Amino acid sequence: MKKLYIIKAGTTFASALERLGDFEDWVQRALGELGVPVEVIDVVAGEPLPAPLECGGVIVTGSHAMVTDNLAWSLATELWIPKLLDSRVPFLGICYGHQLLGRAMGGVVGYHPLGREIGTVELSLTSAVAGDLLFKGIPDHFLAHTVHAQSVLQLPPGALSLAWSAHDQHHAYRIGQSAWGVQFHPEYTAAVMQLYILAQSETLKREGREVDGLLLKVSETPFASKVLSNFAALVRQYITL
């Protein structure tokens, strides 16, 4: 039976691991009862990527690395992504994964000219989202957790923009009918978002950001989380075809 593969592109702060778990744990919790096998591939540790024919779905997690660092594991994953799209495997890139998908398919990734986006922010859907299965049941405006310095500055050719924030015009996009990138973090809980703000508090203060204000605005984001349960439904459908 094909599996859903979670491509682990890094790990969280040590202060979070024991209490909250790691990237792949948050993703699996938000996916809910998937009903199909799940395997985590730690590409940073050198674990090999699966063949597209073995994949019932793929999620690439966030990372504390930068896409433009051009690390060996990242470049190998970037070269692998177009093969998945050619096979129409359901694909979801989250934050780093969103950026890696963008660059793999011909977009431009780099540091955002407005600097870091962090905290619970309002996102708006575009008109292109009509009928999109990943955003099924999600209202035109919803809250989502964000933490990123780099962005997809230019979408790949043919990509459809699906969501934006006041900071970032490319918060979500789709390529074809089976590949999505989301800059926001559908897997984050309010506790995870608060931890990320606190862990970067000194940097944020140096940037002139009001840390207490950011913390006060943190809330749960059930509609953003729905992206992952919707993706789980897509994977189940793909595997049973």
**Domains held by the chain: number:** 1
Instruction: Note the pLDDT tens digit of each residue in 111-165.
Output: 999 999 999 999 999 999 999 999 999 999 999 999 999 999 999 999 999 999 9
Among residues 145, 148, 170, 185, the one annotated as catalytic is 185
Which CATH number is 42's domain given? 3.40.50.880
Q: How far apart are CA 210 and CA 214, in angstroms?
A: 6
Q: Is 207 a catalytic residue?
A: no
Q: Is 185 a catalytic residue?
A: yes
CA dihedral (133, 185, 95, 28) positive or negative: negative
Tokens of 84: 């998945």
Among residues 24, 95, 145, 171, the one annotated as catalytic is 95
Mean pLDDT of the chain, nearest integer: 97
Q: Is 64 a catalytic residue?
A: no
CA distance to 75, 100, 129, per residue, from 85 (Å): 17, 13, 20
Task: Give the domain range for residue 31.
Answer: 3-240
Helix (H, G, I), strand (E, B) or coil at 241: coil
Helix (H, G, I), strand (E, B) or coil at 178: coil
Question: Where would I find the beta strands (DSSP E) of 165-208?
Answer: 172-175, 179-182
Tokens of 185: 């973090």
